[in-house]
Amino acid sequence: MELQDGGKVPYDLLAMATGTSAIVPNMPGVDLPGVFSLRNLEDAVHIKTWLREKNARRVVIIGGGFIGLEMSEALHSAGIATTIIHKDALPANRWDAALSAVMLEELQLSGVEFVAKAEAQAIEKGANAQLRVTTDKGAWEGDLVLLSIGVRPDARLAKSLGLNIGKTGAIAVNFSQQTSLENVYAAGDCCESFHKVSRRWVNIPLGDIANKQGRVAGRNIGGKPLTFDGIVGAQSFRLFNLECAATGLSEKEAVESGYSPVSNMTWGNAMAPPMGMSKIGMKLIADKSSGKLLGAQAVGVAGVVGRINTLSVALWAGLDLDQIGYLDLAYAPPFSAAWDIIHNAAQSLRRSI
Amino acid sequence: MELQDGGKVPYDLLAMATGTSAIVPNMPGVDLPGVFSLRNLEDAVHIKTWLREKNARRVVIIGGGFIGLEMSEALHSAGIATTIIHKDALPANRWDAALSAVMLEELQLSGVEFVAKAEAQAIEKGANAQLRVTTDKGAWEGDLVLLSIGVRPDARLAKSLGLNIGKTGAIAVNFSQQTSLENVYAAGDCCESFHKVSRRWVNIPLGDIANKQGRVAGRNIGGKPLTFDGIVGAQSFRLFNLECAATGLSEKEAVESGYSPVSNMTWGNAMAPPMGMSKIGMKLIADKSSGKLLGAQAVGVAGVVGRINTLSVALWAGLDLDQIGYLDLAYAPPFSAAWDIIHNAAQSLRRSI
């Protein structure tokens, strides 16, 4: 096989797991010592070393997606103050604004500074800390700056081999994790996955998907065929005391996939009221014409990830709101009311169609 | 309509929700003051009044099913010591012995006395407390005795009306909650439900099922037809720090329903190991010929009910082990490993077929 640069790689079979590259914003100072991205274990080791060597007391995080949020929690628990600079009004844009507002409240209660609607413009040496980040809303100093505005699939090697690249920019594969070349397989963040709800090929770089694809690729390479059915978009992160999780499509993705989404927001409790009050907010998105569930998002102190996983299986199996409104779930007062928030949300959304 | 006793009840339409009766063992002393069953709110009020008036310090519970176990926790948290007298070696017989052993350990760590393999023979006045329970393993005294050996559907009124009664002893209904008489509906613990896994009509007296059936009956009576698809046998209870949950069929029920069950027991963590160790034990039961999941049971400190609900939807949708082994679940280290115990358990059981 001839590479585009003229070099040759001799191989009988190639398995690619080239992952992602962190997106580095185009602004001065991103190459300064103390400016990091977080993409792999090596990055984490470098970050920890820098924090220790500089006796870091404050970190500026650029980007309030779930990696930035998780890092704010990790740094906070290590005794390091954090400022998150985010381009939008609320963190975690994938979630409904009402749920992201709960996350923002949790951040602020935990002492994390969140600078909303701010565009980072430059990083330079700091006066009272190692570095200073200038934005259109003012400047913030920190001993380390973390860039967490996103990642993109690393398809450079794939391109140089002439492999088909999908619309997402990730390597196109079939259900066996085989690329457009018969003897080249790809797995993980660098390649696409079939989304069972949108019925499109997507790139969602998450560790659990990568693990599954890796095993499927390995099985096929090893001669024990296995297909990877796909994903439904399940994801979660913890933010201090909050569980945050989502699955399926957002309304925007639903429209892009040809559905007519309707949605609602339901506030309920993780447990029966006499057992305490543990608020959960849950957004459901469904297709107006078929009544099928398309997506769900939830935030709360307890019982969130379990419910989103429950709904992930409903998405996997293509259940509609009528079925979800009457699902048999394991009721006991410490874990839910007799009608769970899942039932209430699904029935309420069904009535609105 | 003429009742069997000769009386007449004039009605155009009847909705029955006669619930269950507690099973009272056939032994001397069950009528003594201070001997209670727990079936409804009135029972709970009487129990609380007795405990307060007698300044109760110890309670003897006969029966170590989940009602007895929940009561031991409730009493313990009210500062009242409890002894559970149980006919088998381990509590909560529905769960696998390995999981019931975890419950027993939790009971003992919490200071609840568990008398195994003991048959209560008589209740009489106590010497150092209000009452004394004599068993074939010795005698235990307490200021209150709670009988929690089970309930049976209360179908007395239904029988007197000549309604069809199912093999379970509960009122037979159709998917609209209609009994064998067109204008008589039944809902709740007194009637049967269609079990989607066994495809048989069963009687599982649980509050969430009763709520659903009540709403379905009401909708049909009110002229807005709705059917109740059925149940999968999801149930849960908390035991001090443990979440205990199960869904679907036990192996015995699977055999009775015509399946050839295989099963395995998997021990894993509720979260990724670096986030702490929170042991979960999970038993899966599947059909050998089709690979379909038939049931699941789990016990652990966290993440149990959410996983059993996830598997309840898998049962609802009839998923097989191949699909369950690769379900897309919302992975983040505080909530699971990249391969969740659900994946590991399903793949392991699949390999064993």
Mutate to test the interface with A, among B232, B309, B311 (most CBs of A within 10 A): B309
Q: Do B236 and A305 touch (CB under 8 A)?
A: no
Chain B, window 315-344: residues with a beta carbon less than 8 angstroms from a chain A beta carbon: 316-317, 319, 323, 326-332, 334-336, 338-340
Q: What share of chain B is helix, strand, coil (3-state, %, to 5)?
A: 25, 30, 45
Chain A residues inside the 8 Å CB shell of B328: 196, 208-209, 230-234, 247, 312, 316
Residue type, B326: Y
pLDDT for residue B2: 53
Is B326 within 8 Å of B267 (Cβ atoms)? no
Q: Domain for residue A6, yes or no?
A: no
Is B250 within 8 Å of B94 (Cβ atoms)? yes
Is B246 within 8 Å of B295 (Cβ atoms)? yes
Chain B, window 213-232: residues with a beta carbon less than 8 angstroms from a chain A beta carbon: 228-232
Q: CB-CB: which of A231, A305, A336 is closest to B335?
A: A305
The ipTM assigned to this model is: 0.94
Q: CB-CB: which of A231, A234, A330 is closest to B305?
A: A330
pLDDT for residue B277: 66
Query: Under 8 Å CB-to-CB from B121, ≥6 apart: which residues?
Result: B27, B134, B135, B136
Q: Of A99, A128, A149, which residue sits at a domain end?
A: A149
Looking at the structure, do residues B252 and B139 belong to the same domain, yes or no? Answer: no
Rounded average pLDDT over B19-23: 94
**CA-based diameter of chain B, in Å?**
71
Chain B residues inside the 8 Å CB shell of A326: 212, 228-229
What's the rounded Cα separation, in Å, for the pair A161 and A131?
40
Closest alpha carbon within chain B to A311: B310
Closest alpha carbon within chain B to A318: B317
CB of A56 less than 8 A from some CB of B: no
Distance from CA of B94 to the nearest CA of A (A): 14
**CA-based diameter of chain A, in Å?**
71
Chains A and B form CB pairs within 8 A to the count of 156
pLDDT in tens, chain A (353 residues): 555 555 555 678 999 999 999 999 999 999 999 999 988 889 999 999 999 999 999 999 999 999 999 999 999 999 999 999 999 999 999 999 999 999 999 999 999 999 999 999 999 999 999 999 999 999 999 999 999 999 999 999 999 999 999 999 999 999 999 999 999 999 999 999 999 999 999 999 999 999 999 999 999 999 999 999 999 999 999 999 999 999 999 999 999 999 999 999 999 988 877 666 689 999 999 999 999 999 999 999 999 999 999 999 999 999 999 999 999 999 999 999 999 999 999 999 999 99
Looking at the structure, do residues A96 and A213 belong to the same domain, yes or no? Answer: no
What's the rounded Cα separation, in Å, for the pair B293 and B347?
12
Query: Under 8 Å CB-to-CB from B348, ≥6 apart: which residues?
Result: B264, B266
Closest alpha carbon within chain B to A70: B332
CB of B189 less than 8 A from some CB of A: no
Instruction: Retrieve residue B46's tokens.
Output: 């009487």
Residue type, A190: C
Which of B346, A64, A224, B168 lies closest to A72 in space, CA to CA? A64
Closest alpha carbon within chain A to B328: A231
Which residues are paired to B283 by β-bridges?
B265, B297
Q: Do B330 and A231 touch (CB under 8 A)?
A: no
What's the rounded Cα separation, in Å, for the pair B201 and B196?
9
* Alpha helices per DSSP H over chain A: 41-53, 66-77, 97-109, 156-160, 207-221, 251-256, 304-317, 321-324, 341-352
Closest alpha carbon within chain B to A342: B309
Compute the residue count for chain B: 353
Distance from CA of B246 to the nearest CA of A (A): 7
Chain B residues inside the 8 Å CB shell of A237: 332
Q: φ, ψ for residue A179 (rounded to 5)?
A: -85, -170
Is A122 within 8 Å of A94 (Cβ atoms)? no
What's the rounded Cα separation, in Å, for the pair B223 and B108?
53
What's the rounded Cα separation, in Å, for the pair A73 and A67?
10
Is A121 within 8 Å of A134 (Cβ atoms)? yes
Residue type, B133: V
Query: Which residue reads 């963190």 in tokens?
Result: A91
What's the rounded Cα separation, in Å, for the pair A141 and A157?
38
Chain A, window 88-127: residues with a beta carbon less than 8 angstroms from a chain B beta carbon: none
- pTM here is 0.95
Q: φ, ψ for residue B293 (rounded to 5)?
A: -65, 140
Looking at the structure, do residues A283 and A336 belong to the same domain, yes or no? Answer: yes
Query: Does B351 have pLDDT greater than 80?
Result: yes
Mutate to test the interface with B, among A329, A339, A347 (most CBs of B within 10 A): A329
Looking at the structure, do residues A39 and A122 belong to the same domain, yes or no? Answer: yes
Q: Do B316 and A319 touch (CB under 8 A)?
A: yes
Q: CB-CB: which of B228, B313, B332 is closest to A310?
A: B313
- DSSP state, B344? H
pLDDT for residue A278: 84
Looking at the structure, do residues A130 and A32 belong to the same domain, yes or no? Answer: yes
Q: Of A86, A121, A149, which residue sits at a domain end?
A: A149
Distance from CA of A239 to the nearest CA of B (A): 10
Which of B339, B250, B342 lies closest to B303 in space, CA to CA? B342
Looking at the structure, do residues A85 and A144 belong to the same domain, yes or no? Answer: yes
Q: φ, ψ for residue B77 (rounded to 5)?
A: -70, -15
pLDDT for residue A39: 83
Q: Domain for residue B203, yes or no?
A: no
Query: Which residue reads 């790139």 in tokens?
Result: A203
Looking at the structure, do residues A296 and A272 belong to the same domain, yes or no? Answer: yes
Q: φ, ψ for residue B72 (rounded to 5)?
A: -60, -35
Q: Domain for residue A3, yes or no?
A: no
Distance from CA of B115 to the nearest CA of A (A): 26
- Residue B8: pLDDT band (50, 70, 90) is low
Q: Domain for residue A1, yes or no?
A: no
* Domain of residue A168, residue span: 14-18+152-221
pLDDT for residue A271: 81
For residue A336, the domain's CATH number is 3.50.50.60
Chain B, window 192-211: residues with a beta carbon less than 8 angstroms from a chain A beta carbon: 196, 206-211
Q: CB-CB: which of A210, A328, A335 is closest to B312?
A: A328
Q: Domain for residue B191, yes or no?
A: no
Q: φ, ψ for residue A270 (rounded to 5)?
A: -70, -20
Q: Domain for residue B19, yes or no?
A: no
Instruction: Retrieve residue A302's tokens.
Output: 């307890």
What's the rounded Cα separation, in Å, for the pair A158 and A18?
9
Number of domains making up chain B: 2
Distance from CA of B129 to the nearest CA of A (A): 31
Query: Which residue reads 């809303």 in tokens?
Result: A137
Looking at the structure, do residues A70 and A141 belong to the same domain, yes or no? Answer: yes
Q: Do A329 and B307 touch (CB under 8 A)?
A: no
Looking at the structure, do residues A347 and A241 belong to the same domain, yes or no? Answer: yes
Q: Domain for residue B32, yes or no?
A: yes
Strand B58-62 and strand B81-85: the pairing is parallel
Q: Domain for residue A4, yes or no?
A: no
Chain B residues inside the 8 Å CB shell of A308: 330
Q: Do A338 and B310 touch (CB under 8 A)?
A: no
Query: How does DSSP assign A263-324, residue by residue?
Result: EEEEEEESS-GGG---EEEEEEEEETTT-BEEEEEEEESSSHHHHHHHHHHHHHHT-BHHHH
* Alpha helices per DSSP H over B110-228: 156-160, 207-221
Q: Do B338 and A208 touch (CB under 8 A)?
A: yes
Looking at the structure, do residues A345 and A246 belong to the same domain, yes or no? Answer: yes
Q: Say how many C-beta atoms besides its own lie within 10 A of residue A24's C-beta.
A: 12
Q: How far is CA A158 from the centre of its chain?
A: 24
E strand segments, chain B:
14-16, 20-22, 35-37, 58-62, 81-85, 113-115, 120-125, 131-135, 138-142, 144-147, 151-153, 184-186, 193-195, 200-202, 235-239, 242-248, 261-269, 279-287, 293-300
Looking at the structure, do residues A166 and A215 belong to the same domain, yes or no? Answer: yes
Q: Of A126, A149, A172, which residue sits at a domain end?
A: A149
- DSSP state, B147? E
Looking at the structure, do residues A130 and A39 belong to the same domain, yes or no? Answer: yes
